[in-house]
Amino acid sequence: AGGAVLEDGSYTAKVVTSDTLGNSANYEIPFEVNQLLPCTDVCGLQIDPDGPVLRTPQLTLSASMTTAQGVTADVQVSYTDDAPAAQAAVIVETRRADQLGSVFTAIAAQPGRADEAGQYIVTVPLPEAGTYLVRARATDVDANSPLQSSNVLQVVRATQGPLLEYSFLDAQRFNQKPTLQVRALPRSGVPVESLDVQVRRQDGLTLTRTLAPVSCAGICYDVTVGEDIPLESDVESYTVQLTAVDAVALQSSASRGFVMDVHAPEIHFDEAGLEDDHVLYTELGSMHITGSIIGENALKSGTLTVENQAGTHVY
């Protein structure tokens, strides 16, 4: 305080205060003064400014996408004069690229050591599905160079195949030959390699269909049910089976049904009542018609007209 320069060491700042009524309080704050440069993660080594200088370490990974719980990291460390940095201290770190706030963390408590060729190989754990970033940092055995950071690489661990989607609801009804969209989308950023589409009728017959590619993040098709497939009955059920495979050979399968319904509404009149009462209708100059219109689907419209013998609408 007061502009004094403190030597390195441990200190305690004491605060004492009192008010006009004689009440007092005090507080102590311990602190340390350390004017040495921060440790460069490989502690206990003094940097020699006249020694050889490390190049940026070169990091490679055995895979950028995998289903395994780890990948192999290969770190090559050398000096600016191309000599290998034998016994260089190497730290390999990872962080989750798909988690907000994640930071690089060393995969081991102690640095590893490069071999005589300046190479260090280690397995990087990928404990969960997701996207990871990997980097390496190194300094030479005599600490003639400050800690050097490598290139940063991304690796994805996938545990599930592509995401499958349909443009229609399960058991949805159609009264015309429909065009259906099916989608196989990447999961965890792993590209979709293939999508097989099978449309089968309820009797097991595979329908002729047209697949029209649709632009999307994965593989998407418009599936047109072929007009050359005859309906054997008024109402028939179909199943759309999807099978997709991604770039790490993970597979997804799903199926969803739809119904072709060309069953027209049925009209029913009380014909016996009409025959028995036709004389009464003539005498009164009016008539009552009893009947119904029924169908398997919600009715869209219904009309009643009356024509005379000349075909003229009278009602």
141 contacts: CB under 8 Å, gap ≥ 6: 85, 86, 87, 88, 89, 113
pLDDT per position in the chain (315 positions), as tens? 444 556 666 777 888 888 777 778 887 777 666 544 444 444 444 455 566 788 899 999 999 999 999 999 999 999 888 899 999 999 999 999 988 888 999 999 888 999 999 999 999 999 999 999 999 999 887 666 778 899 999 999 999 999 999 999 999 988 888 889 999 999 988 999 999 999 988 888 888 778 899 999 999 999 988 766 666 666 688 999 999 999 999 999 999 999 887 766 677 666 665 555 555 455 555 666 666 665 555 556 667 677 777 777 666
pTM: 0.64
Q: Where are the domains of the chain?
A: 58-157, 163-261, 264-315
Please choose, from the candidates 66, 75, 65, 6, the residue with its C-alpha nearest in 3D space to the C-alpha of residue 35: 6
- Architecture of the structural domain at 163-261: Sandwich (2.60)
**Which CATH superfamily does the domain covering 58-157 fall into?**
Macroglobulin (MG2) domain (2.60.40.1930)
Nearest to residue 238, comparing CAs of 181, 211, 198, 296?
A: 198
User: Does the fold of domain 163-261 match that of domain 58-157?
Assistant: yes
Residue 131 to residue 133: CA distance in whole angstroms: 7
CB-based contacts of 87, cutoff 8 Å, min separation 6? 113, 114, 116, 140, 141
